[in-house]
Chains A and B, each alone.
Chain A
C-alpha cells in the first residue's frame, strides 16, 4: 500500500511538468497578451513592462524561470492583471473561500445524495422513488446560473432572510446560498448513481442470503449493502470534490464570494499568464491528490482490491 502511494506521488511530478509545458504552449499560442488594450501602449512603455515581467525573454527561458521559481522558492510570480498582488496572494485569498463553500457543498451533496439514492432504491417504484427521481432530474436539469439568481430572488428580495452576495469572512449566512447553488447538481448525480448501484447490490446473491437468514432490513442495508453500493459514488467523488473545492465561476460571479473559481475564466480572458499557470497547477495537483485518495478509499471499502 505504501509503495503504491509513493509510486503514485512519484508519477505526479512528471504529470504536473507535462501539464505546465502544455499550458504554456497553449497560453503563448493565444493572440494578444496581458497588456493588450483598446489603447495600445507606446513602444517604450511596452518595453518597460515586458522587461519588468520577463516577457522579453524567449519562451523556453520564461518557462524555465517559472518552473525554477515554483519548485525552489514556491513563488508563482506576480499577477499581470492585479499589479499590487502576486499569484500566491491571489490563491491565498481566494482558495480558502472556495474551499469553505466547496467542502460544505461536498458534504451536503454526499449526505443528501446518498440518502435520496438509498431511499429510492429500497422503495423502488413507489411514490417515494418517483419523488426522489423527480427531485434529482429537476436538480440536474436546473443549471446553477439559473438557480443562483432565483435563490437570490427568493431569499434576498422576497423573504429578506439572507444577503444576496458577498463573503464577509465566511459568515454562515453568506455561505448558505452558494452551497445550495453549487451542491444541487452534484447531489443529483450522486443520488442517481447511488440509486442504481444500490438496486444492483440489493438484487445480488449475498444480500438475498443475508435476508433469507432473517437479518433485519436495516442491518442488511447498513452492514452489507452500503459499502459495496458506495463504490461507484466514491469514484465519482474524486473529480467532483476537486470541482467543488476549486469553486465555480458561476457561483463566484453570482454571489461575489471573492473565491478562486472566477479566475479560471477571467485570467484566461485577461491573459494573466502567471495566474493561469498558478490555478492550473493548483487544480492539477488537487486532481492528482484526490484521485489517489479515491484509490486508497477503494481498497479500504472493497476487500477484493489490493495494490
Chain B
C-alpha cells in the first residue's frame, strides 16, 4: 500500500466513522417525547446512608428499595405517576369475594443468567421473606398485605409452604388473602414480594448479593458495590423490555453529609441529590431555578401527648390538648422553619395520599388569631392561666431541625397560653425507648406511608396499635376503622375517624413532609408525581444539552 492510498483509506474510514456518529446522534431521540438524547446515558445520584441491605427479602429503607426495584422486577410495577402497570405479570384476575388474586406471567421474562422467570421464583421469594430463619425486619409487610397464614408462618407456628401463595403452573402465581384489599396489586410492587433465584441463593448463601454472584431479573444488573462509597448498576441485556431502556449506567454515591453532597452536585460530580440540607430550598430555588425540586413525601410530622397513666394529668383533658393544638401556628413552621414546600397538617393522613379528601376540620379554616382566641378560652376553661400556668416537657430525638420546631412550638405555647415548656432531646435509639415506654409528656413523632392508602396512617389511631405511643383510646375510632376494612367505600369512615381524632386532639399534627432534591437540568422524566417516590432508572434518560 502506498502512502497516498493509505492516507485516502484512513480519511475514508474517518469520514465513515464520523458520519456514522452523526447518524447515530441524529437518530437518538426519545421515542415518546422526541427529545434528543445525550450520547452518554449514565447518571449519578447521592444518598445519605449506606444501604442496610439490597437483598429484596431484607430491604428496609427507601434507598435500598430503589436499588431492589432496578435490579429486580415484581409482578406489577409503577409508572411515573404511581399507577400500577404490568411488570413480570401481564395482568391479574380477582375472585368475586376479593380474596384470591391470580397473576399471569409473561413468557419472555428472564433472569440475568438467561433462566426463565417462573411462578415458583415468586413463591420462593415470598416464602424466604416470611421464613423465621431469614429474620427479615420487613416480614411484617406480608402480614399487612393480608397473605393467608402470614402471621403463623412468621411466628414459626406453620411451615413456609402454608403461606397463601402458590404456583399451579410456571406462568401462574396465585395469592390468597384474608380480607379484600383494593390496593393489593399495588403492594406487589414492593421488594419483599419480588421473585428470587433460588439456585443462586442456595449456592452463595449470605454472599449472594455480591456483584460477582447476584442473579436478578430487573432492568439492571449490579456491577460494582463498594460499601460506604458507591453502588453501580448497568443495563441488563436479558431484561424482557431491555429495548425500551435508555439509561445505560446508574451510580449511587454514599455521602453521609448533605452539605458535602450539595457541594459535589454544584461541582458537577452528581446529577441528583436525594437529601438537600433543611431550610436551603428557598435559596437554591432562587439561585438554580428548575434544579431545586420539592416533592410531597408521604410522611406526617406530629407531636404525641402522653395520655397513659404515666402522663401528666393536664394532657388527659381534651380542652388542654385542643388548646395546645390550636396555639401552634403551623404556617409559620412550614414557611419559616422548614421552608421546603411542606404543608400545614390538620389531619394525620398525608394530604397527597391517593383518593384522600380532608374532612372539614373547623380549625383549618380559621385564622391564627381566631385559633389563638379559642385556645385561650379552652385553656381557661380547663383551669390553667397566668395564675396557674401549665408546664410541659417536649421530647425529641437529637437533630437541628427537630430542635427548631420544638423551640418554635414552645414559644407559641408560651406567648399564647403562658405554657412553660422545657426542651429535652435524646439520641435516636434512647429516644425511641423513652417514647415507647411512655416516659415523656409531649414527644416528637413521624409516620411514613407503607402504601398509598389512608389506612397506612389511620391504623395508628386504634387502641391496639403498637405504634400508638400516646396510648389514647377511642371506641368510636376503633369501630370506624374496623368497619373500613370491609367497607366498599372506606373513605368516609377514615374521614370520620380523623375528624374525631381532631376534635379530641389526641395528637398534634404539625406538617406533612416534602422532600427537597437537586436535579441536573438534563436528567429527564423524574417521577415527580409519584407520592411514594418510587422511581425506576429504566424510565429516566439524559437529554443532549443545547
Contact = CB atoms under 8 A, between A and B. Distances in A.
Interface string B242-257: 0000000000011111
Interface string B201-226: 00000100110000000000000001
A258 B226 contact: yes
Contacts, number: 151
A45 interface: yes
Chain A interface mostly: loop
A40 interface: yes
A40 B436 contact: yes
A166 B230 contact: yes
A89 B229 CA distance: 14
Contacts of B267: 156-157, 160, 163-164
Given A48-B132, A83-B53, A254 B260 contact: yes
Contacts of B256: 252-253, 256, 262
A149 interface: yes
**Which of A31, A82, A254 is the most central at the interface, judged by chain B CB atoms within 10 Å of its CB?**
A31
A146 B50 CA distance: 24
Contact of B264 (A45, A53, A164): A164
A149 B228 contact: no
A256 to B, nearest CB: 5
A82 B260 contact: no
A192 interface: no
B227 A258 contact: yes
A165 B209 CA distance: 26
Contacts of B134: 48
B429 interface: yes
B467 A30 contact: no
B429 A271 contact: yes
B432 interface: yes
Contact of A157 (B137, B253, B266, B434): B266
Contact of A163 (B226, B269, B436): B269
Contacts of A38: 432, 445-447
Nearest to B151: A44
Contact of A166 (B140, B253, B434): B253
Interface in A144-187: 149, 152-153, 156-157, 160, 163-167
B275 interface: no
Contact of B227 (A31, A52, A90): A90
A32 B437 CA distance: 11
B269 A164 contact: yes
A40 B229 contact: no
A94 interface: yes
Interface residues of A, number: 53
A304 B169 CA distance: 85
Contacts of B255: 165, 256
Interface residues of B, number: 53
A166 B137 contact: no
A85 interface: yes
A217 to B, nearest CB: 48
B387 interface: no
B410 to A, nearest CB: 23
**Which of A41, A45, A47, A160 is the most central at the interface, judged by chain B CB atoms within 10 Å of its CB?**
A45
Interface string B458-480: 00000000110000000000000
B288 interface: no
A167 B266 contact: no
Interface in A76-120: 78, 81-85, 89-90, 93-94
A78 B209 CA distance: 15
B263 interface: yes
A40 B432 CA distance: 9
B53 A149 contact: no
B433 A32 contact: yes
Contact of B155 (A44, A53, A270): A44
26 contacts: A30-B430, A31-B433, A42-B143, A45-B137, A45-B140, A83-B58, A84-B53, A84-B58, A85-B227, A89-B227, A149-B263, A157-B263, A157-B266, A157-B267, A164-B263, A164-B264, A165-B255, A166-B269, A167-B226, A253-B256, A253-B260, A256-B228, A256-B254, A256-B256, A262-B256, A270-B429
Interface of B: 50-55, 58, 132-137, 139-140, 143, 151, 154-156, 206, 209-210, 226-230, 253-257, 259-260, 263-264, 266-267, 269, 427-430, 432-434, 436, 445-447, 466-467
